Structures are given as structure tokens and as C-alpha cells.
Chains A and B, each alone.
Chain A
Amino acid sequence: MSRREAPPGAEAPGLDVRLAGRRGGFALDAAFTAPARGVTALFGPSGSGKTSLLRSIAGLVRLAGRVVAGGEVWQEGERFVPPHRRAVGYVFQEASLFAHLTVEANLVYGARRTEGGVDAGLRREVVALLSLAPLLSRSTADLSGGERQRVAIGRAILSRPRLMLMDEPLSGLDHLAKNEILPFLERLGSSLDLPILYVSHDLAEIERLADRIVVVEDGRIRAAGGLNAALTDVGLGFVRDPRAAAVLPARVTAYAAEDGLSELDLCGQSLFVEGIGAAEIGIERRVRIAASDVSLARAPLGPSTILNALRVEIVAIEPGTGAADLAILLALEGAADFTFVAKVTRRSAGRLELAVGDRLFAQIKSVSLATSPMPRSR
């Protein structure tokens, strides 16, 4: 297979997609890119074309356009590489394990068909990463939904893909199984050196997993960008959601063993969060700030039980969830990219005479970690 590599020096995206066509009375016209590393979420309501996009990137269906993954042209003009010649790891909505094969045989089905066969080292890593060791000797029929999905993910990684495509891998699972798998997925994003496209219509999942988000609506791309930029983009409407939240990166700077709180540096300001150990000092974690936990004050924090207060500036004032609400878009002082939202009543906003450009203090009742604790083995 001929490979067209990107010229040296050029920062080629991990994935470059431009696809258009009709799928059963539904028009799709989408163009987006994903970086060479990290999780890009394809977000949108059911039936917006996310799965069709994923299927045509894998070559399972053919739309007109162009697909370039990891510098390799999979589709362009008349050229159409069939799905089995695309180094793609596809995790379907329901874990489609082969019922006639054992867990072990399922796991290496794709790897055995790659150049060089099963990579023993990678196999060990995948078994460890997804805790598959106790499952290997079991029959696929005896696995729980979460276990099946873990095997399916492992099987995809072992086929050494240049691109991972995950189509709502958690949607068929119950709450418990979801929570069992999410930490594994969080680990994937940081440990795999390839682009991951993650389809979901669940914002909570995306807040935990995604680095970037591509918003799909009626077969078109409505917006694409960094996760927090999208979450706090007033045009996209996430800020009006009753569960609106921002997800920001913060570096762990200190840990107090006596009360279990850690201090994090959020672009020069301090945040106190529980649930991080001393071992993670120096590591960057994602914190989640829910709009309903943020209140605003003109003066610095007096005596209060609230620990976290940040100096902010009002960027925009938007209608909120209900008629009595406003969504106040804030940026950290001196850091226009670090935006989050405060949900306040119209009455309070009127009383404080809030206006765009005002500098004030955001008091945050609770700051939580957006992701699970880091795995010890890494």
C-alpha cells in the first residue's frame, strides 16, 4: 500500500476528514480534524450523523470526500481503501465479541492479521491496562457487559491502529458498568499515542474523557475546538444546561495530609480540592466547576466556609436555564482562555449591577476532579 507521508516539519493533524453524502434520506456534510494525540469527542443528539461519520471514516460505508489518518490517505477522489486495509481500531456500541471464539482468541483476532502478528509486549500492556488477565480463559458468553466492552477495546488496541474510533462504547451499559469502564477509558486517552474519536451524546462522559469536542448537528459540524472553550461557548448553549460546568486543567502543587486537601495551581490562582494524593504533586489534573456551585461577590471573601475564591472578569451575560436565571460567563483574571460559568438569579445580578468587564470574586462551593484518580501503575 502506498503511503503519502506529510512533509517533514509540517504539523499534520492525526486525522483530517471531509465527507459528504446521503445516508438513507439523511444528508451528511462534515469536515473536521483531530490532533495526533488525545480524545476528540463527536458530540450531538441521536440521529445527528455521528455514527455515519465514524462508519465512513472506517470505510464501512462510502461517502464522497477525503479521509487522511496518521499521514495515510484512506480516501481521496476515486481512491478508497477498503476497511480491512485501514489501520483503525473500532469499538462498537455493543461489544461485538465473536461468539465462536474464546476471549483470548477474540483479543488477538486483529493482531494476528497485522504485519508482524501479535506483539507480546503490547499484549501484556493491554492486558494490564484493561485488567483482562482474569477474563482470558473465560467464555465470551460468561462476561458482563462491562467486561465484554473491555475485551473489545483491548482487541482494537492490539490491532495496532493509527486511529481509534469509539461509538458510544458506554451507552449499552448500566451505571455500575459505566463507572467500572470510565477509568480505563481515561487512561487510554493519556497512554495511547494516536487520535481517538469518541462518539457520545452524554456530556458527563465527554467532560471526563475529551480533550477536544466536535459538535455535530443534522449531519453538519456546528463547532469544533477545545473542550472547555466549547463548554463555555455561549453560542453553543451548554452554558444554559442545568448541569452546565467547566473543565479546566490545574497543576497539583501541594498536599496536606492532615485534612486530605490538595492545593492546585489554576493559572496562577490557588484551588483546594480533595481526592488527590501526595504522589501526584506536579501532575496536571482536570477540575470540574459546576455553574450552579459558583456565586459572585464584589468584595474578597470574608469569614466563610467556602474555601475557593478566584479573581475573575465577566466576559458575557446570557439568559440562563430558567426565566429567573442568568448564565454569567467568567474568565480568570489575566487568563482569557480559562473560562467558566456562574449561574445566578436575575435579581442578584441586578442588585450587584453586574456588567461585562466587571472584575469580581467567584466563590466556588465545590470543585471536583473531572477524572478518576490516576492509576498507580504508570
Chain B
Amino acid sequence: MSVPHAKLPAWAEYGLIPLVNLAVAFLISGLVVLIVGESPLEAAYHMINGAFGRGEYIGFTLYYTTTFIFTGLAVAVAFHCGLFNIGGEGQAYIGGIGVALACLSFDRVLPWYLLFPIAVIGAAFFGALWAMIPGWLQAKRGSHIVITTIMFNFIAASLMNYLLNRVFKPLGSMSLETRTFETGGQLPKLDWLMSIFGLSVGNAPFNISFLLALLAAFGVWVLIWRTKLGYEMRTMGHSPAAARYAGIKEAKIIVITMMISGALAGMMALNPIMGEQFRMQLDFVQGAGFVGIAVALIGRSHPAGIIPAALLFGMLYQGGAEISFEMPSISRDMIVIIQGLVILFAGALEHMFRPAITRIIFGLSPKGRQAAATKGA
């Protein structure tokens, strides 16, 4: 017979527990900094200041946040259907083809506001295409999506290497990148948004795709909780047997879910290509697809959680860069350790402090405490 389990109030579930997890992650990161022989307080200062200290820094933080919202949403959508899409990296990379094709074709004739929608469609289309193949293999052939999406990351990398070398690279150029886009292929910065708060965006590439990311987050919420497709995806995700019973077409839902996931990952390409570099470069994704997994985990696959989680990683990226700049003995790799600790505590070990917090909140007796521990085992 089932054992009744104590449910935490929402403020503890969604507020206290994530905060405690983060605090522990930062505490241990501090210890690591201490071992290297630097001051954790100074590192913390550079981290916070580097991420939020000036308008320009905030702009950079939000630029990274934009990227992570897209890849986080991509992973989350697939999660809801019980699919672990770790191919966001490759899908974002291939999504770049759509952006590049749109920009290279129309940047001289169309203004940015007409080109942007075309680029969005292109990015989504190519991303979806790249995710559709593993989705189809899973649905029809039972090839495990984790394995195939990993392999597709490598295939994407090789393919892009080839394309940048043989197709996109302008004649006579030595570097693996497309030509720089004209003004039609350059997204405007959100300096007006920053100036509302009396800040200046400076050199930061904080651009309009941030708004698209917020829109996508809202769209994902509507999709998952307010559409028939989302209902069917969630049914599949929680119980494939119930989905079959309900007459939900498993193969179709898997392929569609993967395409939506891939489209979201692909749209990430807009941010660096049209928003920052104004050209497509080799390796422009830079691991954002993998960060998306952590963002989705920490954000509990809910858009309202993914946005703050993406902001957290935006801060770690921007603030972390600042630390390694200001404190030379802390290398880039150290920053990766800190990010790893955040993923470990907020993602993988998210339940570690739950029993203790439950006990404190419910104020159980010592005997009850023992019971709570046995129950969890």
C-alpha cells in the first residue's frame, strides 16, 4: 500500500530548495578558489560585478542568457515527451545554415525587420530537419535518441566544417566563415530597453533575439499546457502505455516533438550570427547546446524556470570570463568547474537537501526523522 508522502509548500519547493542548492555549489566553488590560493570573496566580487556591474556587462550577460533560453527550451520540450535530446549542439549548428542562407541571399535587398522573420524560419527549419532524423529513427526503428543525437552532433560538426570550407567561405579568404553581412543581416541592439533602466548597452551584443527568446518561452508554455499536441506529448512522457491506450500516435508525436525541439535549438543560431558576429563562423555554438541540458534540468523543464536558469548561466559565463581576466591564476577551466558544480548541485543532486528541509519545515520528532529516511530508501 502506498505511503503518504509529505508535500512541500511551493515557496520551499521552487524557492528555498534551489537557493540552498546554489548556495552549496558556490560555497564549494569558493573552497576550490581557496585551494588555488586566491580569495573567494574577490572572485565572487568579480563574478557579480562582471555580470551585473555595468550596463555593458549586463548586456553581455543577457546576450548569453538569450542563447541558453533557446537551447534550454529545446531540451525541455523533448523532456516533456520523455525524450532526452542531447543533440541541441548539432541542431543549433545546423540551424546556422538557415540563418546564413537567409542573410547571404537578402542582406543587400531587405531591411533587417523583413529579413529577420525569414532567418527565424530558416533557423527553425534547418534545426528541425536535423532533429527529425534521430526522431524518425527512434519512432520507426527504435534507435535510442540519446545515442543518435550524440552522433548527429559529430556529423553536424563535420558537415559544417565541409560547408564552411567549400560552400560558404568567400573566395580568397583564409578563415572558415561566411562573408560579413550587410546591414540587412544585422539585428539591432536593445539599447532602448537598457536605457529605460538608465543603462547603456555599450559594446555588448544584446539584441532583439532576446525578445524572440522570451516569446518562444511563452510559446512553449502554451504548447505544453494548453494544446492537444502538448497534452499528447506529456501523456507520452509520463506513461507510454497510457498514450497507446488513449490512441495517441506514438511515432508521429515523437517526430513532431523532436522537430519542435530542433527548431528551438536552431533558433539559437540567430543570436550569435545575426546579433553579434554578422557572419557564420566555425564552432559558433560553443557548447551552448550542452548548457541547455543543465538549464532545462535546473529550470525543471518549465519556461518560468528556464528563464532564470538561463540567466544564471549567462551570469556564470559573463562573470566567469571577468574572473579569469582579473585573476590570472584562475583559468577558464576553473570557471568550467564552477559551472559543473552548479549543474551537480542544482541539477543532479537536487534532492540531496530535500529530506533535511522537509524535516525542518514539518518539525518532525527524532523518531519521525528516522522514518522519513527509511521511507526515502
Asked whether A and B interact, the reply is: no
Contact surface of B with A, Cβ cutoff 8 Å: none
Contact surface of A with B, Cβ cutoff 8 Å: none
